[in-house]
Copies of this chain bind each other. A is one copy, B any other.
Amino acid sequence: MSKSGGKVGRFRSGCGCAGIDVHCHVVPSSFPPAPGRMPMAGWPSMTAVKDCHATVVIDDKPYRTVSDACWVAERRIEEMDRAGIAVQALSPMPELFGYWLVSGPAFDLVRHVNDVIAALVQEGQGRFVGLGGLPMQDLDLAIAELQRTMQIPGFCGVEIGSNINGVPIGDPRFHPLFAEAERLGAAVFVHAVRPAGMDRLVGPAPLQQVLAYPTDIGLAAASVITGGLLQKFPKLRIAFSHGGGTFAALLPRLEQGYHTFPVVRDSLPETPLAQARKLYVDALVFDTEMLKRIVSVFGEDRVMLGTDYPFNFREKEPVSRIEQTFADAGLRERLTFRNALAFLALEEET
């Protein structure tokens, strides 16, 4: 097995239904108590499992009720077989990143979640690969955890937030982490978390996921472009959740701004349009026209199946969504699994 994941069992190329899902999450069935025996703001706990469900509790409030598919390999595999998914790339539920905790306890929490992912990867016998969390509020610890997880069999990279306590991931302060990710060949999957724009929502709580998540991931992708991240780390493989959110809609105006404002143009070595084609995004846009649009913007080799499994607000028919949108067999293959093979640096089983 290669450093970055290697071969994945049971994955067959050339099968239209053999999808790789780059966007799916893990929640452990339990959490250790907060260090120091005292309650700690932001530290998660789990209610007892009942009827295959449990509730993540944070700060004495229910954060999300989830099914045992979050932590039971067998349950996931049943549903993967039904949905035509050969391999899932497992990443933490973003609220478990713990960026808002003191870095020491956050490191403990992230390692706990990553160890649960590692156990699932092992149990899955080739059906899962890992994208671990990192304590990004402390870059030394984050780099240490990146190095540790990349030595775990089946780990292909990491999942990080669209912002770290409000700082977008295109900010130069995160360059040391990206330098190490590039050096190790670790895929970086960027997921919305604690998004901007919360004070602009009118309506019930799920609007955070519905509206503010795609907003924040769109701004994160833009920050990577305007911060010149891929000029600095040209071999970095970086993907954005939710089809890059609003980024594809921001891009034409960003391109126009590049050609209008000398101060924008001078800060970028390459046009935003050209840079956008170096990003990966998932296909989680719930819409045929949007899917066409992101393939047009990012390129046919840059969009990858992603579902948000096992949460309820997910793409339930990811393979047929792609098949309904595109007739070309080669393009379908690329979106269903081939682009994910490249992003995750996996080899096809022959």
A residues at B contact (CB < 8 Å): 163, 166-168, 170-172, 196-197, 199-207, 209-211, 214-216, 218-220, 222-223, 226-227, 242, 245-246, 248-250, 252-257, 260-261, 263-264, 267, 285-287, 289-290, 293, 296, 312-313
> Cβ of A197: which chain B residues have Cβ within 8 Å of it?
196-197, 215, 219
The one of B207, B250, B260 that contacts A313, using a Cβ cutoff of 8 Å: B260
Nearest-neighbour CB distance to chain B for A224, whole angstroms, equals 8
> Cβ of A312: which chain B residues have Cβ within 8 Å of it?
260
- Cα separation A225 to B153 with both chains bound (whole Å): 47
A207 near B246 with CB under 8 A, answer no
Q: With A207-B226, A210-B257, A255-B286 given, can you name 4 additional A-B contacts, CB distance below 8 Å? A: A203-B264, A205-B263, A261-B313, A293-B293
Q: In the complex where A214-B250, A252-B285 touch, is A264 in contact with B219 (Cβ < 8 A)? A: no
B219 near A256 with CB under 8 A, answer no
| CB closest residue in chain B, given A252 | B287
| CB closest residue in chain B, given A170 | B202
Q: How many copies does the complex hold?
A: 2
B168 near A200 with CB under 8 A, answer yes
> Cβ of A166: which chain B residues have Cβ within 8 Å of it?
199-200
Q: 7 A-B Cβ contacts within 8 A?
A: A166-B199, A196-B196, A196-B215, A197-B197, A211-B219, A246-B249, A293-B293
Nearest-neighbour CB distance to chain B for A267, whole angstroms, equals 6
- Cα separation A255 to B245 with both chains bound (whole Å): 15
| CB closest residue in chain B, given A246 | B246
B202 near A227 with CB under 8 A, answer yes
> Cβ of A219: which chain B residues have Cβ within 8 Å of it?
197, 200-201, 211, 215
A296 near B289 with CB under 8 A, answer yes
B168 near A264 with CB under 8 A, answer no
| CB closest residue in chain B, given A215 | B215
A254 near B211 with CB under 8 A, answer yes
The residue in A203, A222, A285 that gathers the most chain B C-beta atoms within 10 A of its C-beta is A203
Nearest-neighbour CB distance to chain B for A243, whole angstroms, equals 8
A202 near B289 with CB under 8 A, answer no
| CB closest residue in chain B, given A169 | B202
